[in-house]
Amino acid sequence: MRLQGKFAAVTGAAMGMGKCIAELFAAEGATVAVTDINLPMAEEVVAGIKAKGGKAQAWHLDVTGRAEVKRVIAEIVERFGKLDVWVNNAGISTMTPFLDITPQEWDKMHAVSGSGVFFCSQEIARHMVRLGVPGKIINNASMAGKRGGNAPFLAHYVYTKFGVVGLTQAMAKELAAHKITVNAVCPGYVATPMQERELVWEGRLRGMTTEQVFQSYIADTPLGRIEYPEDVAKVILFLASSDADFITGEAINVNGGAWMD
């Protein structure tokens, strides 16, 4: 029980990695705020956690809305009394050749993966500072946040994820004085609903079948298999636990060796 008595929140927790992180946190003793734009599915995640004896509550939270972020974070902190761990996991992807990316597509990506991380981190950090809580903020970045030259059709995504890695370092430096650590993880090819969509898009753009694209992901991964949400959730659990108390400003590769630095 590595998060016994802790209070945590995860964005984009209705499916994929966010769901897995919320479930693992709850299994490790945390009370979890399961937040997402998809409230019905977030409520299903909460029901699953409760069925196993865990503690969780669902909130609608669109990370792109400054006012909603402010209101929901205030509600979560008030309901729980404090918050020890915040995970910025919500993200979107679209695959488009660079020459065809529209300003709308660019702005939408920035709103979710750029501004969303900023809004949530600033707001939760303000509460942590006010309450004197030694908090932990963890960002789900991406391998694409470190290797822009090998993430085809994802220039807008690459831009935001490089930003998340940089913001992680900048926040870690400034928030250290308040005993708040800020770290990121950089997953590779993770089997989630996002990946299912990307397999289809990339297949179309490359003239390959989805199975061929899937096999190319495995071929690009030295450890020789697709990555699972659990692979990432376990590292985020470590960063959320007291075992990582003296780690801040890191962006940890969790990708089976697909990118090493």
* Residues annotated as part of the active site: 157
Find out whether 65 and 39 touch, Cβ atoms under 8 Å.
no
Q: Which stretch binds ligand NAD (CB under 6 A): 12-20, 45-53, 78-86, 119-127?
A: 12-20
At closest approach, how far in Å is the CB of 248 from ligand NAD? 20
Place of tokens 């009370």: 31
What residues have CB less than 8 Å from 100, skipping those under 6 apart? none
192 contacts ligand NAD (rule: CB under 6 A): yes
- What is the x/- site pattern for ligand NAD, positions 34-73, by CB under 6 A? --xxx----------------------xxxx---------
**Near ligand NAD by CB under 6 A, which window of 30-38, 49-57, 77-85, 207-215?**
30-38
Per rule CB under 6 A, is residue 14 in the interface with ligand NAD? Answer: yes
Contact 32, 58 (CB under 8 A): no
Q: How far is CA 228 from the centre of its chain?
A: 14
Residue 26: both structure tokens together: 């709850």
**Closest CB to ligand NAD among residues 194, 247:** 194
Q: Is 89 in the site for ligand NAD (CB under 6 A)?
A: yes
Beta bridge partners of 59: 35
Q: Does the protein bind ligand NAD through residue 235 (CB under 6 A)?
A: no
Closer CB to ligand NAD, 136 or 161, in the complex: 161
CB nearer to ligand NAD: pick between 133 and 191: 191
The type of residue at 261 is D
Nearest of 183, 168, 158, 191 to residue 259 by alpha carbon: 158
Question: In the set 30, 112, 128, 154, which binds ligand NAD (CB under 6 A)?
Answer: 112
Contact 140, 87 (CB under 8 A): yes
Q: How far apart are the first and last CA of the chain?
A: 32
Compute the least distance from the CB of residue 174 to ligand NAD, in Å. Answer: 23
| b (16+ CB within 10 A) / e for 214-224 | beebeebbeee
**Which residue from 31, 57, 140, 221 is in contact with ligand NAD, where contact means CB under 6 A?**
140
Which of 27, 101, 155, 194 binds ligand NAD (CB under 6 A)? It is 194
Q: Locate tokens 């966010």: which residue?
A: 18
H/E stretch holding 9: strand 7-10
Please identify, using beta-carbon distances, which residue of 80 and 189 lies nearer to ligand NAD: 189
Number of residues that bind ligand NAD (CB under 6 A): 29
Task: Give the shortest CB-126-to-ligand NAD separation in angstroms.
Answer: 20
Element (H, E) at 109: helix 103-109
242 CB burial (10 A radius; 0-12, 13-18, 19+): exposed
Binding site for ligand NAD (CB under 6 A): 11-12, 14-18, 36-38, 61-64, 89-92, 112, 116, 140, 142, 187, 189-190, 192-195
